[in-house]
Each structure stands twice: as structure tokens, then as C-alpha cells.
């Protein structure tokens, strides 16, 4: 039998998993969610969600992936054969393909904005109406769709090359550059005239702003940002070796991902307050408001190029991880080559990505439950499938599978102290599932 691929170094494991977590979710989604949901109060709830739900769910995925060295379907089967549980894997694969579709659309926009920044179009002097420009761009029939497809082609080339030569190599190259760009951009934002107002918005909570829907948004954001609940980290961890410390890695991913989200908040809000932008602008924040700021900022050309380069890099290390879920599934469960299964995932991504992209223009009138295809995919996956997936993982690992297996995975067969594993098991069994259910029910106004 062909030997299964593995990540080759500790750094490679960290770069790939953090690369999956750090993406548009941190730089595009987190600031607008924080901006529309009360700033610091949202961030406070977000951090609690990451600690009590995020880290335990990462550990569940790691236990299943590293413990079985299989794709999500194989892992459910191996741990509980002939049961209904394996159907959960279909939900995961569906969610991964839905997210890949709409994520590639936004990643395509970032490619377009990067090209506009590099060619100097964005920072050209003269009158600009960036809202109208963004509106015209996304509604145009071919341009955003072409960028979506170009992005998926880059994504395809990396994933098709495999774990070591594709995913690990690109993550090792891109992640350090991404770290440097983030720090440079943060330093620039902190030196802007009204930076302290931005910091106040981010760090000075007004607890009266907390409502059930703010809590659900924070939970949904935590799942999306940590790539949780759709077996992305399960799939990546199936390529870990048996010495990888699971709890330590889970904590590092959660910490680094949260730091990047907060740095992105600093970059964006310090600039926004200094140039009188609107923090609650929603998803268009990065594409309509920021270009205007770069346009009036000293050295704007340089900062615009750097910022959109950051977005492109961050999105590619995330999109490859969500593609890997279905690629591993197709190739291992149907015994087809990696190249063919990558082609299948890319084709699905391209078809639905194009439809999502067109839902801003010619398919604008086609709505389901009152939502465009893009919003529907985002809503169903982030607010329903990911929390549901997280709930299934915690119940499966906490209550269904063999306790000794869970303990052995968390302690690497007794080589790592048991204390942290006990806390994690408690969170997996009780706190995380109850918290997910309570948040979802309170939003549905059942409680």
C-alpha cells in the first residue's frame, strides 16, 4: 500500500495549520464583525469563545485526525464503524465545498485590488468614488468571476503538488512574509494621528452592547477564523506524526490566530478613525473604505500594495486547507489519484464560485430564502454547518469513542503530562457542547 503523506517538520506543521486559520476571516471578516457588533465587547466574547469552545474543538479534530491518519469519512468509520456518525462527514465535505466557493470569490476580489494597487490605479490622484467602483466591479459580468477562477487555479496547482511539496512548502514560504507585513502595517497605523481612538474602540468594552446575536456572531467568527467544525484541522492533523503535541499545538494556533485578528483590527481601525471612516460599514469595509484611506495617506501606494498582498497571501494558505478536506476524501475513499481528486474539487469550486460571484450581478434577482447565493453559502456554512459540525465533534469525541484512545492521543501515549488533557476533556464533554447549544437556541429565541 502507498505510504500516506506526512508534514516533515514541526515548523511545517505550525505554518500549515496557522496558515489555514489565518486568512480573510482575520483580516476581512473579523474587523467588520467587530465594527458592526460593538468593537471591544465583541472581542471580549470572541476571546472567551476561542478559549472555552475553540481550543477544545481543535483538540477533538486533532484526536480524530492524528489518531486515525485518515480523511474525515475514514476517521468517523474507523472510530465507530457501521453507525450513523459517518454521515456527519458528508456535512463536513459539503461545508468545505460551500466555503471554498464563496471564499474564492472574495479572494478573487483581493487579487483584483492587488493588481489595482500595483498598477497605481487605486492611489491615482483625482476624484474617486470607491463605493461606486466596488459596486460596479462586483456587479460586472466577467471581471470578478475571472479573478475567482484565476485564484482557484493557483489554489489547484499548490494542492495538486501534495502535502510536502505543495501545502507545506508554500506555507513555510508565505507565513513568515505575512508576519512581517502585519507588523509593518501595524506600526504604520499606530503612528497615524487618531490611532488612540481606534485603540479605544477595540479595547474599551461597553458591555451593554452584548446581545444573543452578538454572541452568535462571535461564536460563528471563532469557528470560521479557526477553520473549525468542517474537519479542516482533522484532515491536516491526519498528516501529523505521533510525536506532535496536540494540546500545545491547538493552543498555539488559537493564540496566534487571535493575535493576527487583533493586529488586523489595529491596522484597520486606527486608519479608519484617523481618516473619519465608518467602523460599522460591514463586508465592504476593506474594499470600499480602505482604498479611500490609502488614497489620502502619505505613502499610500506602498501601504495599499502591502495590505492587498497580505490579503492574497492569507487567503491562499486558507483555501488550500479547505480544498484538502475533499481532496483527501475523494482520493482515499474512491481510490483515485491526488491529481484527479484535486481536479474534481477545483471544478466544483469553480462552478459554484462563479455562481456566487455572479450573484452580485446578473444573478442578483435569484434568491433563496431571500438571500443571494453568496450570502446563502456564507450563512449556511458559517452559522449552521460549522457550529453543528463542532457540536458533533465534541459529542463524538467526548461521549462516544473510547476514552483511552482520547487520553492516549492527548498525552502522546503518556509521554506528555496529563493535567492539561484533563482540562481539555472536561471542556470537550461539558462546556463546549452546552455552550454551542445555548448560543444557538438563544438566537432562535427558544430560551
Residue placing its CB nearer to ligand PFF in the complex, 38 or 389: 389
Integer angstrom CA distances of residue 110 from 148, 310, 316? 10, 9, 11
Q: Which of 442, 235, 198 is nearest to 324 (CA)?
A: 235
Q: Which helix (H) or strand (E) is 31 found in, with range?
A: helix 30-36
Residue placing its CB nearer to ligand PFF in the complex, 346 or 411: 346
Buried b (16+ CB within 10 A) or exposed e, 318-335: bbbbbbbbbbbbbbbbee
Q: How far is the CB of 50 from ligand PFF (least distance, A)?
A: 12
Residue placing its CB nearer to ligand PFF in the complex, 225 or 421: 225
Q: How far is the CB of 232 from ligand PFF (least distance, A)?
A: 3
Q: How far is the CB of 23 from ligand PFF (least distance, A)?
A: 2
Q: How far is the CB of 165 from ligand PFF (least distance, A)?
A: 21
Residue placing its CB nearer to ligand PFF in the complex, 217 or 274: 217
What DSSP character marks residue 368? Answer: B
Q: Which of 211, 220, 207 is nearest to 445 (CA)?
A: 211
Sign of the CA dihedral 91, 230, 387, 279? negative
Residue placing its CB nearer to ligand PFF in the complex, 323 or 357: 323
Q: How far is the CB of 264 from ligand PFF (least distance, A)?
A: 10
Q: How far is the CB of 21 from ligand PFF (least distance, A)?
A: 5
Residue placing its CB nearer to ligand PFF in the complex, 68 or 321: 321
Number of C-alpha atoms within 13 angstroms, CB side, residue 85?
23
Residue placing its CB nearer to ligand PFF in the complex, 20 or 123: 20
What is the spatial distance between Cα 219 and Cα 436, in angstroms, rounded to a whole number?
Answer: 8
Task: Scan for cell 450573484, then name that residue.
Answer: 359
Task: Scan for cell 506543521, then name that residue.
Answer: 13
What is the spatial distance between Cα 265 and Cα 261, in angstroms, rounded to a whole number?
Answer: 6
Integer angstrom CA distances of residue 278 from 25, 269, 275, 288? 20, 9, 9, 11
Q: How far is the CB of 63 from ligand PFF (least distance, A)?
A: 18
Q: How far is the CB of 218 from ligand PFF (least distance, A)?
A: 14
3-state secondary structure of 371: strand
Residue placing its CB nearer to ligand PFF in the complex, 295 or 319: 319
Are 347 and 95 in contact by the 8 Å Cβ rule? The answer is no
Q: Which of 291, 227, 253 is nearest to 23 (CA)?
A: 227
What is the spatial distance between Cα 13 and Cα 233, in angstroms, rounded to a whole number?
Answer: 11
Report DSSP letters for 85-135, one per residue.
GGHHHHHHHHHHHHHHHHHHHHHHHHHHHHHHHHTTSTT-SS---HHHHHH
Taking CB atoms, the residue at the shortest distance from ligand PFF is 25
Residue placing its CB nearer to ligand PFF in the complex, 297 or 320: 320
* φ/ψ of residue 198, rounded to 5: -65, -45
Q: How far is the CB of 213 from ligand PFF (least distance, A)?
A: 21
Residue placing its CB nearer to ligand PFF in the complex, 326 or 372: 326
* φ/ψ of residue 392, rounded to 5: -60, -45
Q: How far is the CB of 69 from ligand PFF (least distance, A)?
A: 19
What's the residue count for the chain?
447
Q: How far is the CB of 343 from ligand PFF (least distance, A)?
A: 20
Residue placing its CB nearer to ligand PFF in the complex, 230 or 376: 230
Q: Which residues bind ligand PFF (CB under 6 A)?
A: 20-21, 23-26, 96, 99, 224-225, 227, 230, 232, 318, 321-322
Amino acid at each position: 500500500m502507498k505510504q500516506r503523506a506526512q508534514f516533515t517538520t514541526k515548523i511545517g506543521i505550525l505554518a500549515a495549520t496557522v496558515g489555514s486559520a489565518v486568512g480573510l476571516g482575520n483580516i476581512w471578516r473579523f474587523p467588520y464583525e467587530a465594527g458592526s457588533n460593538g468593537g471591544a465587547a465583541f472581542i471580549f466574547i470572541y476571546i472567551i469563545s476561542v478559549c472555552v469552545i475553540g481550543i477544545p474543538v481543535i483538540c477533538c479534530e486533532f484526536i480524530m485526525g492524528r489518531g486515525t491518519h485518515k480523511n474525515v469519512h475514514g476517521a468517523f468509520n474507523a472510530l465507530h464503524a457501521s453507525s450513523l456518525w459517518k454521515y456527519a462527514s458528508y456535512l463536513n465535505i459539503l461545508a468545505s465545498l460551500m466555503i471554498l466557493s464563496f471564499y474564492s470569490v472574495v479572494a478573487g476580489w483581493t487579487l483584483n485590488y492587488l493588481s489595482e494597487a500595483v498598477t497605481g490605479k487605486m492611489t491615482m490622484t483625482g476624484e474617486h468614488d470607491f463605493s461606486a467602483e466596488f459596486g460596479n466591479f462586483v456587479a460586472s459580468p466577467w471581471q470578478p468571476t475571472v479573478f475567482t477562477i484565476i485564484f482557484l487555479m493557483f489554489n489547484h496547482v499548490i494542492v495538486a503538488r501534495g502535502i510536502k511539496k505543495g501545502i507545506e512548502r508554500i506555507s513555510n514560504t508565505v507565513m513568515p512574509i505575512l508576519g512581517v507585513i502585519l507588523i509593518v502595517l501595524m506600526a504604520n497605523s499606530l503612528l497615524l494621528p487618531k490611532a488612540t481612538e481606534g485603540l479605544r474602540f477595540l479595547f474599551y468594552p461597553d458591555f451593554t452592547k452584548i446581545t444573543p446575536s452578538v454572541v452568535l456572531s462571535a461564536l460563528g467568527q471563532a469557528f470560521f477564523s479557526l477553520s473549525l467544525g468542517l474537519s479542516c484541522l482533522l484532515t491536516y492533523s491526519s498528516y501529523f506524526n505521533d510525536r506532535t503535541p496536540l494540546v500545545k499545538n491547538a493552543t498555539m494556533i488559537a493564540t496566534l490566530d487571535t493575535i493576527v485578528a487583533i493586529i488586523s483590527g489595529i491596522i484597520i481601525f486606527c486608519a479608519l478613525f484617523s481618516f473619519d471612516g465608518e467602523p460599522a460599514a460591514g463586508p465592504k469595509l476593506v474594499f470600499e473604505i480602505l482604498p479611500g484611506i490609502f488614497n489620502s495617506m502619505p505613502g499610500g501606494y506602498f501601504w495599499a500594495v502591502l495590505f492587498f498582498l497580505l490579503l492574497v497571501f492569507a487567503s491562499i494558505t486558507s483555501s488550500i486547507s479547505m480544498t484538502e478536506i475533499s481532496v483527501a476524501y475523494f482520493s482515499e475513499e474512491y481510490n483515485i489519484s491526488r491529481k484527479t481528486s484535486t481536479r474534481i474539487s477545483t471544478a466544483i469550486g469553480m462552478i459554484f464560485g462563479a455562481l456566487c460571484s455572479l450573484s452580485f450581478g446578473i444573478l442578483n434577482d435569484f434568491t433563496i430564502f431571500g438571500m443571494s447565493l453568496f450570502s446563502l453559502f456564507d450563512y449556511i456554512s458559517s452559522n449552521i454547518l460549522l457550529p453543528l459540525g463542532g457540536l458533533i465533534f465534541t459529542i463524538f469525541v467526548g461521549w462516544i469513542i473510547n476514552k483511552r484512545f482520547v487520553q492516549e492521543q492527548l498525552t502522546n501515549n503518556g509521554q506528555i503530562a496529563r493535567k492539561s488533557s484533563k482540562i481539555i476533556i472536561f471542556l470537550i464533554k461539558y462546556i463546549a457542547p452546552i455552550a454551542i447549544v445555548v448560543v444557538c437556541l438563544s438566537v432562535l429565541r427558544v430560551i
